[in-house]
Amino acid sequence: MNTPPSPDNNTPALPTQAVVKQNPFAYKAFTVLWLATVLSNIGTWIHDVGAGWLMTSLSQSSPVWVSLTQAATTLPVFLLALPAGALADKVNRKYMLMIVQTCLLLVANILGIVVAAGKATPLILLLFTFFMGVGAAMTSPVWQAIVPSLVPRAALQQAVAMNSVGVNISRAIGPVLAAVLIGSLGIAAPFFVNALSFMLVLLALFWWQPPAAAEKRLPPEALAGAVRAGWRYALHSELLRAPLLKAAGFFVFASAYWALLPLIAKQVLHGNVSLYGILLGCIGIGAIGGALLLPALRKRKSADQLLLLGAIGTILTLCVFALVQNNYAAGAVCLIAGASWIAVLTSLNTSVQISLPDWVRARGLAVFIMVFFGSQTLGSIIWGQAASHIGIQAALLLAAAGLGLAMFIMRRLHLPNDQTVNLASSLHWPEPLVDASVTHDRGPVMITVTYQIAPENTAVFLSAVYRLRKERLRDGAYSWGIFEDTVQKGQYLEYFIVASWLEHLRQHERVTEHDRDIQTELLQYHCGDEPPKVAHFVAPYPDSINAADK
């Protein structure tokens, strides 16, 4: 039996347990990359405000065009996040980030030149916004996947929260700077400043030396196979189901005020770009305040309760925007909106992080990002169309009602928040005995396990084995079943089928300590004199079948 490696081999040294739990900034790599991403996010918000306000001018304030600007940012992330996550689980993440940041630097500069030359049109602006969204799609899973390598597990939750704080610091600063830049230097200035922010990230990445990756004894997955593995894991993971479904239910409706905020500032509140920047800044300030309150709230509230509070605050925001045409009221409710957003996003993101083992971390986070941005894309399109047909205020009220209904429907789904679940690789499956002629590409492969169960334990055994079914399917099997022998009472045969021998060897590496706990519970019901018999069967080569036919 293999000896499992220490789960902390690639984590930073631990000064003291108290410091780790409270302060991820005790680790230099986290601090440097956090500062760089804050500056980059400030540039991104400056860009978004510039693009949103420019679109109101180019499109004569059409709700459809303005909402499409938001959709063009989020749609690429929905389409490309999972392939990007699969790629990030295969290649050097530092180099991947550096290449994408360089491309974004070029795109931002070109857009600035086009706008400065007066050649921008709604379609051109959407095209460049889409390219920026592609860059976000390629980097978002990577940024989130490297967090566990920057801090120990005990500091992970606070590190995730601090990343959200960084995003919202930039949200508080970026829009205000955008308004100043547009007013003093013109509408092209935000795009050049955004390009400069990418340069700062490149410098930080050049400095960063990530921990050495564990040596892999199996060949890397092909990209298409890695994408399928990530999607399969998300589909069959019980831990991921609740955060993914709740994210979809929240962000489709909460995206309404994001998509329509330029029009709320201009048409409902009769303001200008400065008011738009102030509203965005208030959302950012509210998010920072909410993040500072989260540690105390977590001691008294569960992740589900924090998400519910965030949903209530968002419903209040939508209603105030729709019913109260007052700048001060709008600014005040933006503070609530920011605090609500950070409560929801941090609760969901942390739940996803603790639900993923390292081998599929970037892909699992990519699925969450797909849900996050896909929901916002769908919501932006829906609420833009709704606003153009029934009016901005009516669309906001409809979104508030929809969010309330979604939270009621999903009230029985519970977010995982138990960090005692150990998803480190256990490597407790013994190395399979195999003839040398069985190569990695042979397949499909069927694995069978034979159990002997006393009649009084049948119900509890079946309950446990169906929990094991999810683990088999999640880690590589595409078919699973359990059968009882018609002659020998109480003898059960479990089978599962994988695509190839190599895929089964990967299952050996993917099984976790949490899975071992499930298997230990299952084995206590086996009453045979010997351990359950495990057998491996591989499909014959096609040439052998053809020869038999002849």
What confidence tens digit (pLDDT) does each residue in 245-268 have? 999 999 999 989 888 888 888 888
Helix (H) or strand (E) holding 243, with range, is: helix 238-263
Mean pLDDT of 3-28: 51
Mean pLDDT of 48-72: 73
Q: For residue 416, what pLDDT band results from cuts at 50, 70 and 90?
A: confident
Q: For residue 400, what pLDDT band results from cuts at 50, 70 and 90?
A: very high
Residue 273 has pLDDT above 60, yes or no: yes
- Cβ(190)–Cβ(182) under 8 Å? yes
Write down the CATH number for the domain with range 445-549.
Answer: 3.30.70.100
Residue 4's pLDDT is 35
Q: What are phi and psi of 91, to 5 degrees?
A: -110, 175
Residue 69 has pLDDT above 80, yes or no: no
| Per-residue pLDDT reduced to its tens digit, 207-222 | 988 876 666 677 777 7
Could you tell me what percent of the chain has a pLDDT over 90?
18
Mean pLDDT of 178-197: 86
Residue 6 has pLDDT above 50, yes or no: no
Residue 17 has pLDDT above 60, yes or no: no
Residue 411 has pLDDT above 70, yes or no: yes
Give the whole-angstrom CA distance, residue 548 versus residue 546: 5
Rounded to the nearest 10 degrees, what angle do helices 458-474 and 223-236 cross at? 150
Residue 253's pLDDT is 94
Give the whole-angstrom CA distance, residue 27 versus residue 159: 11
Give the whole-angstrom CA distance, residue 526 versus residue 453: 5
Could you tell me what percent of the chain has a pLDDT over 70?
89
Average pLDDT, the chain: 82
Give the whole-angstrom CA distance, residue 393 versus residue 390: 8
Mean pLDDT of 55-68: 70
Give the whole-angstrom CA distance, residue 103 versus residue 84: 15
Helices within 301-391 (DSSP H only): 303-323, 327-353, 361-390
**Residue 89 CA, distance from chain mean position:** 14
Residue 60's pLDDT is 64
Mean pLDDT of 113-119: 88
- The edge-to-edge listing of strands for the beta sheet with 533-538 is 479-484, 491-498, 445-452, 533-538
Mean pLDDT of 67-79: 74
| Residues in a beta bridge with 492 | 451, 484
Q: For residue 480, what pLDDT band results from cuts at 50, 70 and 90?
A: very high
Q: For tokens 């109101």, what's the residue?
A: 56
Cβ neighbours around 219 below 10 Å, total:
10
Give the whole-angstrom CA distance, residue 476 versus residue 4: 20
Please give the structure tokens belonging to residue 233. Answer: 């894991």
Cis before residue 211, ω within 30 degrees of 0? no
Where does the chain hold its CATH 1.20.1250.20 domain(s)? 22-209+238-409
Neighbouring C-alpha atoms within 13 Å toward the C-beta of 198: 24
User: Residue-wise over 477-503: b if at least 16 C-beta within 10 A, else e?
Assistant: beebebeeeeeeebebbbbbbbbbbbb
Mean pLDDT of 303-310: 90
| Per-residue pLDDT reduced to its tens digit, 278-292 | 887 788 788 888 877
Q: For residue 22, what pLDDT band results from cuts at 50, 70 and 90?
A: low
Where does the chain hold its CATH 3.30.70.100 domain(s)? 445-549
Mean pLDDT of 55-72: 70
Please give the structure tokens belonging to residue 189. Answer: 């200035």
Mean pLDDT of 489-511: 89
**Residue 416 CA, distance from chain mean position:** 15
For 94, 287, 293, 413, the CA distances from 250, given in Å and listed in that order, are: 32, 17, 21, 13
Mean pLDDT comparison of 101-110, 278-287, 503-512, highest-scoring range: 101-110
pTM of the model: 0.72
Q: For tokens 């994210």, what's the residue?
A: 247
Give the whole-angstrom CA distance, residue 499 versus residue 506: 11
Mean pLDDT of 68-95: 79
If you classify domain 22-209+238-409 with CATH, what class do you get?
A: mainly alpha
Residue 543's pLDDT is 55
